Amino acid sequence: MANENENFEVVPGSEEFSKMLFKLNEPLNDRNLSILNYGGNSLQEIQDNLFTMPAYIADNFNLFFIVSPLIESDWVIAFSTATIENGNEITDLSEPMTTGEGLNMLGEVSPEDANQLLKYFNTLVEANRGQWRMVEKN
């Protein structure tokens, strides 16, 4: 039996991976905002301390980054889906979902894009910008 401090591998696409949340190592600010740019997009503040940017957009599925202090004061990168009207107007974002759940959903639609997104998160880990955390989901 592994102890809690041991590193363990959670495989993308698995039920366990859907419980993974990406936590930033420091709060989002003007100095580090552009570090999180993805796919030629940058984070936009849509409410105080709530930033979003597209991760994947197609006719049948979309996924948006949600960056906010969602759990206590920890800044996390979660995902949301959006209602898009008239081709480019975002009218509504779903409740945030864990990072792993969003990646699993994208993996079902476009495994190649999900792998690219996973590489993005791995780059952030390697640069000591964030880390994966297991969360309990209700």
Q: Does residue 92 sit within a domain?
A: yes
Please give the model's pTM, rounded to 2 decimal places. Answer: 0.88
- pLDDT reported for residue 138: 57
- How far, in Å, CA of 84 to CA of 82, rounded? 6
Contact 17, 104 (CB under 8 A): yes
Q: Please report whether residue 53 resides in a domain.
A: yes
Q: Is position 59 within any domain?
A: yes
Q: How far is CA 100 from the centre of its chain?
A: 8
Angle subtended by helix axes 111-126 and 99-109, to nearest 10: 150
Domain contains 88: yes
Does residue 124 lie in a domain region?
yes
In angstroms, how far is the first alpha carbon of the chain from the final one?
Answer: 25
- Phi and psi dihedrals of 75, rounded to 5? -80, 130
Q: Is residue 80 part of a domain?
A: yes
Taking only the tens place, the pLDDT of each residue in 59-91 is 889 999 999 997 778 999 999 999 888 777 777
How many domains does the chain fold into?
Answer: 1
In a domain, 95, yes or no: yes
- Structural domain of residue 55, as residue ranges? 17-128
Instruction: Inform me whether the pLDDT recorded for 96 exceeds 60.
Output: yes
For the stretch 31-53, pLDDT in tens is 999 999 999 999 999 999 999 99
